[in-house]
Amino acid sequence: MKPARASEGEKHLRLEIAHALHLGHRSGWPPPLAEGDPVPGCSCPTCTGIAAEDPARRSRRTVRRRTVSTPPLPVEAARLVSILEVAERLGLGEPVRRGREWAALCPLHDDTRPSLTLDLERGLWYCFACAEGGDALELWQRVRGCSFAEAVRELAA
């Protein structure tokens, strides 16, 4: 069951009591409220000096926010790019065929011999020297130092 919503007067009273209790824990600061002083944190017309009917007292919940719609990312188009094409775009040197896989120079460390293995069937890469691996998007992210969204946009273009 949902609790009943407190009225403006009840909120004011609760905040005034909370302020008084807070003063009991501190000695002298903030000074006690004088008769008719606004209660800190209270939004009633007495404390704010703004009439209840004033448009400035509208609840924040009633204010509509403008939403900005962003176009969806072309993730599927980026995932269709071959791992071999990604390696060529990144300039990893000429990939060399080794059996059913390809090898290229690893951009993540100083590489003199091709140690980055490219598996075209699975679309995955792995470097035995670094012990790093992943898919084409992750390779693009790691080499370019960009976010997932930027990698998707660059590869899908």
- How does residue 83 score in pLDDT terms, banded at 50, 70 and 90? very high
Torsion sign across C-alpha atoms 61, 66, 70, 72: positive
pLDDT score of 59 more than 60:
no
Name the phi and psi angles at 70, rounded to 5. Answer: -105, 140
The superfamily (CATH) of domain 75-156 is Zinc finger, CHC2-typedomain (3.90.580.10)
- How does residue 101 score in pLDDT terms, banded at 50, 70 and 90? very high
pLDDT score of 37 more than 80:
no
Give the start-to-end residue ranges of the domains of the chain. 8-62, 75-156
Q: Are 90 and 139 in contact (CB under 8 A)?
A: yes
Residue 86: how many other CB atoms lie within 10 Å: 22
Q: Are 14 and 6 in contact (CB under 8 A)?
A: yes
Fill in the DSSP letter of residue 55. G
pLDDT score of 56 more than 90:
no
pLDDT, residue 57, reads 59
Q: Are 113 and 149 in contact (CB under 8 A)?
A: no
pLDDT, residue 123, reads 92
